[in-house]
Chain A
Amino acid sequence: MILRLAFASLAARALTVGMTILAIALSVALFLGVEKVRTGAKASFADTISGTDLIVGARSGSVQLLLYSVFRIGNATNNMTWDSYKDLAAQPEVDWIVPISLGDSHRQFRVMGTTTAFFERYKYRSGQPLAVSDGAVMDDLFDAVIGADVAATLGYEIGAPIVVAHGLASFTEHKDQPFRVSGILEKTGTPVDRTVIVSLEAIEAIHVDWRNGAQIPGQSTPADVIRQMQLEPQAITAALIGTQSRLQVFSLQRAINEYPQEPLLAILPGVALQELWQIVGIAETALIGVSGMVVVTALIGMMATIFSSLNERRREMAIFRAMGARPRVVLGLLVLEAVLMAIIGAALGLALLYAGLFIGQPLIDSAFGLWLPIEPPSMRELWVLLGVVAAGAIVSMVPAYRAYRMSLADGMMVRN
């Protein structure tokens, strides 16, 4: 019955109580959301590449190279020459090497030029290879293999024609080259899902009529003429390398970094990821701190609400006392109310989080390539919720103790 009374008392102050609960719910949703994004990002980043010993590109920052070559985030400021690539490929330590050429797009998806070796060598989630769910890897010059998300978003099936645009989000499209979808990859949860993969030669073919990023006026080479051309690239964006033996990784890395013909950078994906975590770690801590503060603010708001309700509720407490409730019961009642508000707030926050995930999941996926899994709450999240409720109880002790003192002094008669 005490519980029912507590609920009724809360319901009688529906507006302020509702606001308080909403504030708690939003703060909890924010906190858990930040956690979700954080862990989701970390997991998906760590799972994105495996089996590659070195990533090579033009000299820039190692994190930058990792981001654009593997995660398709940002752009390469420089390319590496095809000559350097061939030179590297001939090194005895190099077991395999896969070139990557980026810079074009199809709709909102990036186009990557590579060789068919990519499909054998690129591994994700501790060694899992790519698999073709439909069709086959590219065979013809104008064949394209698309990731699962590309197919799903654009509704492409095998044989669908594709027009490739030069640059990213550019409106000038390479209309003349009729690519077609030859294969669709299975979902991987990596940026490959959002990539259109063509051959290196195809990237060259797209740019036959282009110089310095602009179409040569009046020139439009027919597809069958292009097929006859020598389509060797001048430059590529990056290359993935596997070594003969893991022991050679460091010496090869050093050799590449000191490559005399061209300033190159070789990175170990794992090390670069660590570096990325370090950079992100500061922001991460700040983010957790800020969202934690929001929760604290909401709880302090609740405390203020309870405080301001004390005076008008003096009578209510006097009635409890007159009916035989000890001052302890009055204290407990206020804490109980706070705990109820915190529980409802936390539960509502969790519901908001899942609602947000349901709505936001595809948006976040397409915008940031981050797939946030919708799973039952983790132990950690449950602890967070429990923590919020406990903190609510602790915070409410302050006004509850004040009420305790007041009801000790008032007894069963309120003087006014």
Chain B
Amino acid sequence: MPDPDPILLLEDVRYRWPGRRAFGLHVGQLSLARGETVLLLGESGSGKSTLLSLICGTIAADAGRVLVADTDFAKLSPGQRDKFRAEQIGLIFQQFNLLPFASVRDNIALPLQFAPKRRARVKDPSQEARRLCRELGLPDDVITTRAGTLSVGQQQRVAAARALIGTPPLIIADEPTSSLDAETQESFLELLFAQSRAHDTSLLMVSHDARLADQFDRVIHMTEIAQTLRDAA
């Protein structure tokens, strides 16, 4: 039964990196309900990050439709696309998430700068950043330190706080735990889940690690939704 109001919907999307014939991506159908947590599994090089770039609108599909919160990226100008991304999506990468020279607070507040609606949902960005840090188990004084001085595990939590601030409806995480050791990995995920559940946020997380599967509402394999062409056609 199709979801009447998915936060994310991809239909018959095709993409090929310019000048690279060897790799192509074709996604038949992918949808994500509001508040749903989904783990997307796939081998390295299978096109997971490419798919996330399509969802974030930083690359445009060659064919098909990408809808985030009922809005088709193809109908937006590049500038609107950037703003829309900031409004709708909280992003966490595998590593190098933060501006190392900026304070933790400024890093967390950064997306609000480009997303007025998200900014409007936050009364006091400084307070909210502090609260999120506390919720994510970071020490209280971390807020004013330079992000570059934190440990990798702490940096990932700050990235999570940044994705959560202003409660965007969709959080996308590209292998956020692969640079963490097993223990940190677990607590990081717990905290992320707790926060996204609290705000009814959808979570799409990409990984090549199947052990995380049981914590998610749903698990999808790249092979189920996408065809990747690796041969030079």
Residues of A within 8 A of B (CB): 1-2, 4-5, 8-9, 11-12, 315-316, 319-329, 411-414
Contact = CB atoms under 8 A, between A and B. Distances in A.
B98 interface: yes
23 contacts: A5-B102, A5-B106, A12-B100, A12-B148, A315-B96, A319-B96, A319-B97, A319-B110, A321-B82, A322-B56, A323-B113, A323-B114, A324-B82, A324-B111, A324-B114, A326-B82, A326-B114, A327-B78, A328-B79, A412-B58, A413-B49, A413-B53, A413-B93
Interface string B132-167: 000000000000001010000000000000100000
Contacts of A4: 102, 106
A179 B219 CA distance: 108
B85 interface: yes
Contacts of A328: 79
A85 B100 CA distance: 83
Interface string B94-111: 001111111100100111
A275 to B, nearest CB: 59
With a 10 A CB-CB cut-off, give which of A320, A329, A412, A414 has the most chain B CB atoms: A412
Contacts of A325: 82, 113-114
Contacts of B99: 5, 8-9, 316, 319
A412 B53 contact: yes
B142 to A, nearest CB: 16
Contacts of A1: 106, 109-110, 113
Contacts of A11: 101
Contacts of A316: 99
Contacts of A324: 82-83, 85-87, 111, 113-115
Interface of B: 49, 53, 56, 58-59, 78-79, 82-83, 85-87, 91, 93, 96-103, 106, 109-111, 113-115, 146, 148, 162
Which of A1, A4, A11 has the most C-beta atoms of chain B within 10 angstroms of its own C-beta?
Answer: A1
B133 to A, nearest CB: 18
A319 B78 contact: no
Nearest to A415: B49
B49 A9 contact: no
A319 B49 contact: no
Contacts of B56: 322, 411-412
